[in-house]
Chains A and B, each alone.
Chain A
């Protein structure tokens, strides 16, 4: 590679006194002094959350209002800090609208003191039941308060649009005698 020797110019007298540079700096800082402020006043003004933001992990329901999670425990296994604890459970027989859902979690706890917001649970979930949504601030007074239980997770998650309607398809297939 060719080496280009750049001649370093000696500083002029004005530059060696620093004064023109200091005056230039003063001009710059004065511009900032009168400029529009760049900060948000947090609790009143909230930042715009970009798409794909990884906030607090939440559980979501399908458009029929059923839990999507089937307690396969993949997220529990993949979770690097072991923040997720799932107790798998059966679907009770007396709930006809959940008849074709395979399983559901009896308990689903995410310890937010352990969670590192990596999003692996969302990535690994085969049912698209767990999402890291937009909530970015979590606080509590006790350790117990910082564990999100199942009802709290569904409350945070709400319902997200679904493209698959897996259980509806299962139900339709069963009604047609599971032809294939």
Chain B
């Protein structure tokens, strides 16, 4: 079976791999919408969506009831509604850009997924990361492509030809640009640390995870422990970049109705929705790769040790699946954290967002960078 796969033309292999990743990302984005509703409900002492059920699954004695109570069929109901309701196109919009905006929102969301490694297996003594396109410039490409997402918001707001979307998109662009700066500055210490003259692919994520999997106390420590301030700045900036509470001034319904997607409905709105969740997933994945050990199950316990304990060193498929499960588990944990924070911290006002970004986070990121530059200069003298 593996020989058959590896004998296929290279672009067919790439296509299958790409589809496999999309088939994982899309259901996760769908499940996230349900998780969002469920977590919101539980935090508010409600049971949450628990009514929809498909008859022949309801007949399964215990499982059917459990799935119904969990609300899994509400995902289908929501998705089906979004697909089949009228896809309205208001008369006052610029039609070309109005339709282009949600498509443009999906492109960076699905493109950044390709460079993020999501697991690893071991051949011989080397840990081989699993990724669609393990680029040498990993983090740079994520920042470069991920920040294109703001164009879709601007385009949507402008093409809607209505004031709330317009104001929302202006806010979105200002917010995303402000926090991108702190975000980039916060990851530089990590790459200063893992880099060395003459090494290859040192901006890639795989190298960062490899660095966090070394033996010894300092080698096995995740960057989240070595650089808590960096991790904190990155996390805050990530919340702002993904327009999540408490930084969702972009979508604050009390003053902006629905912001840039006010005029959107049905499937076009759904694309924005999926793009937002994909951004969250990719952002969480990057955060975990950089600061929380990637596919290593626990700090000071790298995947290679686990493979030796479980005798999986010569079982690339099983080890690969195990590492993907560990990584996805961490990503889903992060997504839960996003939702948890959403119902804990109230929304900042727009001026507070700007003040926090420019006057607090940016100076902190610069000081943090200088501090680690000096420390690393002494350590790696």
Query: How far is it, in angstroms, between the C-alpha of A86 and the C-alpha of B46 when the chains are bound?
Result: 45
Assembled-state Cα–Cα distance A37/B343 (Å): 16
Query: Would A32 and B43 count as touching, CB distance under 8 A?
Result: yes
State the main secondary structure of chain B at its contact with A: loop
Q: Is A135 an interface residue (CB 8 A)?
A: no
Closest approach, in angstroms, between the C-beta of A45 and any C-beta of chain B?
A: 11
Asked whether A32 lies within 8 Å of B340 as measured between CB atoms, the reply is: no
Partner of B344 from the list A25, A34, A37, A38 (CB cut-off 8 Å) is A25
B42 sits at the interface (CB 8 A): yes
> How many angstroms from the CA of A124 to the CA of B274 in the assembled complex?
61
Contact check: which of A30, A35, A41 meets B340 at CB < 8 Å? A30
Question: Once the chains bind, are B43 and A25 in contact (CB under 8 Å)?
Answer: no
* Total number of residue pairs linking A and B with CB closer than 8 Å: 36
Contacts A22-B345, A26-B340, A26-B341; is A32 near B44 (CB within 8 Å)?
A: yes
Say whether chain A's binding surface is mostly helix, strand, loop, or mixed.
Answer: helix
A33 at the interface (CB under 8 A from B): yes
Binary interface encoding of chain A residues 14-42 relative to chain B, with 1 for a CB under 8 A from any of its CBs, else 0: 00000000100110111011111111010
Interface bits B320-351 vs A (CB < 8 Å: 1, else 0): 00000000000000000000110111000000
Chain B interface size range: 10 to 19
With a cutoff of 8 Å between Cβ atoms, the chain A residues found around residue B44 in the complex are 32
Q: Is the CB of B45 within 8 A of A22?
A: no
Q: Is there an interface contact between B344 and A22, defined as CB atoms closer than 8 Å? A: yes
Question: What is the CA–CA distance of A39 and B44 in the complex, to the nearest angstrom?
Answer: 10
Which single member of B46, B47, B50, B340 contacts A29 (CB below 8 Å)? Answer: B340
Residue B39 at the A interface, CB < 8 A?
yes
C-alpha spacing A162/B46, complex, angstroms: 43
Instruction: Please report which residues of chain A, range 35-60, place their CB below 8 angstroms from some CB of chain B when the two chains form the complex.
Output: 35-39, 41
Per a CB cutoff under 8 Å, which of B45, B50, B341 touches A32?
B45
Residue contact A33 to B46, C-beta cutoff 8 Å? no
Taking CB atoms, residues of chain B closer than 8 Å to A36 are 45
A41 to chain B, nearest CB (A): 7
User: Is the pair A37, B45 in contact by a Cβ cutoff of 8 Å?
Assistant: yes
Whether B46 pairs with A37 at a CB distance below 8 angstroms is yes
- Contacts of B9-47 to chain A: CB distance below 8 A: 39, 42-47
Q: Contact: B46 with A38, CB < 8 Å?
A: yes
Q: Give the residues in chain A near B46, CB-CB below 8 Å.
A: 37-39
A53-111 residues at the B interface, CB under 8 angstroms: none
Known A22-B344, A25-B344; judge A41-B42 contact (CB<8 A): no
Minimum CB–CB distance for B50 against chain A, Å:
8
Question: Once bound together, how far apart are the Cα atoms of A73 and B60, in whole Å?
Answer: 59
- Nearest 10 pairs of A and B residues by beta carbon: A38-B45, A25-B344, A29-B344, A33-B42, A29-B43, A39-B46, A37-B47, A33-B43, A26-B344, A32-B43
Listed in ascending order, the chain B residues whose CB lies under 8 Å from chain A are 39, 42-47, 50, 340-341, 343-345
